[in-house]
Structures are given as structure tokens and as C-alpha cells.
Amino acid sequence: MDQRERIQAGAERLGFSFFGITRPAEPAHLAVYRDWLRAGRHGEMAYLAAEPAVEKRAHPERILPGCRSIIVVGLRYANPSSLPESPRSEGPFGRMAAYAWGKDYHDIIVPRLRELAALLEAELGCSVAHKAYTDTGPILERDLAQQAGLGWIGKNTLLISPDQGSCFLLGELFLDVDLPANTPFEADRCGTCTRCLDACPTGCILPDRTLDARRCISYLTIENRGDIPLELRPLVGNWVFGCDVCQQVCPWNKRFAGGPVDPELAPRPDVPFPGLRRELSLTPEQFNQKFKGSPVKRAKRRGYLRNVAVALGNAGDRAAVPDLARTLRHEPEALVRRHAAWALGQLGGRDARHALETALPAETDALVREEIRRALDQGSQAG
């Protein structure tokens, strides 16, 4: 093997299914990114629009002084359609994005990239300045991956490999040494297919291969720290962390996303399809224990239980009314109580109305009281 092949073999031993090399240069989609920010489609993710970070995205060489090469790797996770649906007879279930079924990828990819840097130093026989990233730095990762020959940016905004679909996570290793670069992937193999745009529950995927994060279920259930907008709550369905719809319908995943999954990203018990009524009762200690080392911790307990309450409201199972009523009375987080009130209004019925009427006089938070009144009004109109 030549030097490049030995480096790639080292990356494969570390578990990376994808490997490519590119040079630091202005990203091809920088103008699209700037337009996206100007349109406010990044929602509350203000860190994306911070000018120092935008400048680094425009000039990747500024991330590491003297940067001359960038290794881009990918770590495969489970095809979101690889597990059967949980039996509905056991109660309403939520759905979790497949990348979050196992360990937090941040804790996997960056340490392995540092190991790869050590392998590279051994190969070259010299010290190598480097910086490792995965979804944490001011980088347009998909642009770098396309330039490194890994695939194209699809209509669903994800990087798609012609051999392995899109169910993988990207990582980057910035280096101050010259390595032979890959040929960029120039082809667009989405063709006339629009399945991802047609299937998106909230219509957040836009024709220019960007998305409006403010409508994206992944954003709403993870990055969004406040209330899920009223008009979007019914569209969230039973997703409690992230969303995989645009990947599930993609023909490239139906054909090619069935390869071996990194063991650390394999599904943990009761994570892909969590029982919603049980999840709603998670104490802070139970939440931290269940999701220790999981990306779900990013949503925090209050965000996760907010999502669970919305999913219960969408499930249409009135057996959840006592659980939601208990949450409305005793949950310390007002954010969760607001969404529990909404869910009771969605489920309707005498018991749900009684729970709302009982909670209203004792509620001290003005926004929760407003949500309760709205739910009661909705029930009155429906009746």
C-alpha cells in the first residue's frame, strides 16, 4: 500500500466507513449559507450567524494556522428503517432519530480522529499539528465531504454517498501537512426524485437544498429551547428526539444503508421506541441515568418531556390522561406543564377537561394558565 492507502486503512481500523481528503478552500455553497442566515432560517441557533464563525466557515484554513489538508471521515449508524415498529398494543410509543439510538457520537468520533492523527504522525515520522471536529466547529461539513469525494448534497440537505446512502455522521481532521486530495464528487444523483420534499411532515425542506430549521422536527425537538409553535405540534407526530422521515423515504437509503453499524451506535434498549407514558414520569435522576452518554442529553429533561407530552397529545390515546394530569399538577418545569395542558386539550373528553379545570386555579405560571384556558376553549368548541 502507498502512504494514502495506509492512512485510510488506519481510519477503517478505527471504525470509519468513509474516508476522503481535501484542501482548505472557500466552500462551494458559502453564498447559499449566507443567504440562509440572512433569511433567518437558522432559528434560535445564533452561534451559526456569529460573524467570527461565519468567517471561519468561509476560510477553513483559519481554523488551524498552516492547514494544508483536511481528512473527512464518516461513521455509519443504523438505518432508521432497520427496526420494526414497536407493538401498538403495549401503549403509545415515541420515535427517536436513529443516530441517537446509541452513544453520543461526539464522544466517539473526536477521540478516534485524535487516534488517527497519532497514526499519521507515526506514518510520517514527525509531529503534525491538527484539530479534530464533528458537528462542533465553524465548518461547513457537507461541503468539505463533497470536496473530499464522499458524495453529493441531496435534496433532503444531507450528504448522500452513492454506495452507502446518508446514514452516517461526519468528522474532520485539519492538518498542517500535505496529503493527496480526492477528486470532488460533482454528480447530482437525486435526479427528478422529490420523495423527501413530499414526505416532510412540516414542509421544512426547501427547493434550494436547504431547510427552514424553524419548521424542522429535529430543530423543534432538540435545538429549540422554548415552546413548539402551536401550528406545528400536530405535525411533530410521535417524534421525541429528531426525525428520520427524509432519510426513510430516500431511495439511496432503501438500497444502500444496510451495512454494518458501529457497535457504539447500536440501539440501546427502550431508546428507539420509548413508551411515552413511562417517559413522562422520568425524574431528573432517572433521565440522567437513562441517557447518560447519549445525545438526548442535549435536549435536557425539560425539552425531552415537552416532546413526550406533544407526542402523547398526538397519539390520541386517552389512557394517557391521568399521566398528563399528574404532570400538569406536579411537574416543576413550566415548559413541560404547558405542553401537557395542550396534550390534554388534544385528547379531550370529560377526564381531560376535569384535569384542566382542576389545575387552573392552582397554577401560578401565567403562560401555563394561558395554555390551560386555550385547551379548555378548544374542548368547548369541539363539544
Reported pTM: 0.96
Q: Assess contact for 331 and 305: CB atoms under 8 A.
A: yes
Select from 74, 68, 73 the least CA-distant residue to 179.
Answer: 68
Per-chain mean pLDDT for the chain:
95
- pLDDT category of residue 90 using cuts at 50, 70 and 90: low
Mean per-residue pLDDT, 229-258: 94
Q: What share of the chain is helix, strand, coil (3-state, %, to 5)?
A: 50, 10, 40
What pLDDT, in 10s, does the model give residues 286-328? 999 999 999 999 999 999 999 999 999 999 999 999 999 999 9
Q: Which amino acid is at 112?
A: R
Indicate if the alpha-carbon torsion angle 293, 334, 326, 241 is positive or negative. negative
What pLDDT, in 10s, does the model give residues 321-369? 999 999 999 999 999 999 999 999 999 999 999 999 999 999 999 999 9
- pLDDT category of residue 87 using cuts at 50, 70 and 90: low
∠ CA(320), CA(235), CA(141), 5° rounding? Answer: 120
- pLDDT category of residue 182 using cuts at 50, 70 and 90: very high
Catalytic status, residue 227: no
What pLDDT, in 10s, does the model give residues 187-239? 999 999 999 999 999 999 999 999 999 999 999 999 999 999 999 999 999 99
Mean per-residue pLDDT, 141-152: 98
> Residues 6 or more apart from 26 whose CB is under 8 A from it?
58, 59
Q: How many whole angstroms separate alpha carbon 347 and alpha carbon 107?
A: 40
- pLDDT category of residue 57 using cuts at 50, 70 and 90: very high
Select from 318, 307, 302, 311 the least CA-distant residue to 379.
Answer: 318
Q: Assess contact for 338 and 307: CB atoms under 8 A.
A: no
Q: At what angle do helices 350-362 and 366-382 cross, to 10 degrees?
A: 150
Tell me what pLDDT residue 89 has.
47
Residue in the structure block whose three cell numbers are 497519532: 118
Tell me what pLDDT residue 83 has.
72
CB burial string 339-352: b at 16+ within 10 A, e below: bbbbbbbbbbeeeb
Q: Which entry of 2, 135, 198, 317 is annotated as an active-site residue?
A: 135
